[in-house]
């Protein structure tokens, strides 16, 4: 099974700050990496797909990048509506696996 | 607008069965692979099962293989998850999800809670 190691587990940041979350895949998954945001009591919402493509309706302050088997989600200027839990997902091979999640809070 | 509406969750005793449904609308259901993803209370996300657009192929995580069955009725635009021999560790909110371009789970339903307890 492919393991997705996500870090950090939690972080606290100020408004307008730059935030970066990373996922390390245990093997090559190409660009089969997606990022989701989940708010309390809600279903996950797609932010990034194909490692770097922005999903429809997602603000441009969100971006994804890849370096080998390490993937990053960047929020360029943290806004008040951005706190939540962020997950990465590898869709390269079953069993499809999520990272453990990053809880993002406003400082 | 893509809509996925799950139903069928509830409280069930260990060893019993439950069948979840997911009614889809806003897109041509028979064109897309579909999946179930679950989330135990206060825990992360876990893929459960996937079915191909025509129902010819199914995939399961090991912990549910032989106990859960994913199926679909394209005429009714409905996805199902038959869950047998339920265990306490199956307690979770179950989401149905639709694939997208280069992504497995582009759209999600609101989820239905399954609680396995005596």
- CB A85, CB A102: distance < 8 Å: yes
Q: In chain B, which residues have their Cβ closer than 8 Å to the Cβ of A34?
A: 103-105
The Cα–Cα gap between B37 and B109 comes to: 10
pLDDT of residue B101: 81
Cross-sheet strand order for the sheet of B18-25: B3-7, B18-25, B78-83, B68-73
Whether chain B has a CB inside 8 Å of the CB on A92: the answer is no
Q: In chain A, which residues have their Cβ closer than 8 Å to the Cβ of B105?
A: 34, 36, 44, 46, 89, 91
**B108 phi and psi angles, rounded to 5 deg:** -125, 150
pLDDT of residue A20: 98
pLDDT of residue B100: 86
Shortest distance between the Cα of A101 and any Cα of chain B, in A, equals 7
What is residue B58's three-state secondary structure? strand
- List, for residues B49-82, the tens digit of each pLDDT value: 999 999 999 999 999 999 999 999 999 999 999 9
Average pLDDT over residues B37-53: 97
**Facing A50 at nearest CB: one of B44, B47, B102:** B102
Q: Do B108 and A32 touch (CB under 8 A)?
A: no
pLDDT of residue B56: 97
Confidence tier at B46 by pLDDT (50, 70, 90): very high
- Percent of chain B exceeding pLDDT 70 equals 100
Average pLDDT over residues B6-11: 98
pLDDT of residue B53: 96
Residues 6+ apart with CB under 8 A from A92: A2, A28, A29, A30, A32
Between residues 12 and 41 of chain B, which touch chain A (CB distance below 8 Å)?
none
Whether chain A has a CB inside 8 Å of the CB on B67: the answer is no
pLDDT of residue A42: 97
Confidence tier at B103 by pLDDT (50, 70, 90): confident
What is residue B62's three-state secondary structure? helix
Average pLDDT over residues B9-20: 98
pLDDT of residue B39: 98
Chain centroid to CA A75: how far?
Answer: 10
Q: Do B103 and A91 touch (CB under 8 A)?
A: yes
Q: Is the pLDDT of residue B102 over 90?
A: no
More confident residue, A88 or B104: A88
pLDDT of residue A71: 98
| Mean per-residue pLDDT pooled into runs of 10, chain A (107 residues) | 98 97 98 97 97 96 98 97 98 96 97
């Amino acid at each position: 099974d492919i393991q997705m190691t996500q870090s950090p587990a939690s972080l606290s940041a100020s408004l307008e700050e730059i935030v970066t979350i990373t996922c390390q895949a245990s093997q090559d998954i190409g660009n089969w990496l997606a990022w989701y945001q989940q708010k309390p009591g809600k279903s996950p919402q797609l932010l990034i797909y194909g490692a770097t493509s922005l999903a429809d309706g997602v603000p441009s302050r969100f971006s994804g990048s890849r370096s080998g088997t390490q993937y990053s989600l960047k929020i360029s200027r943290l806004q008040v509506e951005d706190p939540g839990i962020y997950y990465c997902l590898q869709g390269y091979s079953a069993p499809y696996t999520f990272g453990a999640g990053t809880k993002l809070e406003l400082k | 607008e893509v809509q996925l509406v799950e139903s069928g969750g509830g409280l069930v005793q260990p060893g019993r069965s439950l069948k979840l449904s997911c009614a889809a609308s806003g897109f041509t259901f028979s064109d897309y692979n579909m999946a179930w993803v679950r989330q135990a209370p206060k825990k992360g996300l876990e893929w459960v099962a996937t079915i191909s657009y025509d129902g010819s192929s199914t995939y399961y995580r090991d912990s549910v293989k032989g106990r859960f069955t994913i199926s679909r009725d394209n005429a009714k635009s409905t996805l199902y998850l038959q869950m047998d021999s339920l265990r306490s560790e199956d307690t979770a909110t179950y989401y149905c999800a639709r694939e997208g371009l280069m992504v497995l789970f582009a759209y999600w339903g609101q989820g239905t809670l399954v609680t396995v307890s005596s």
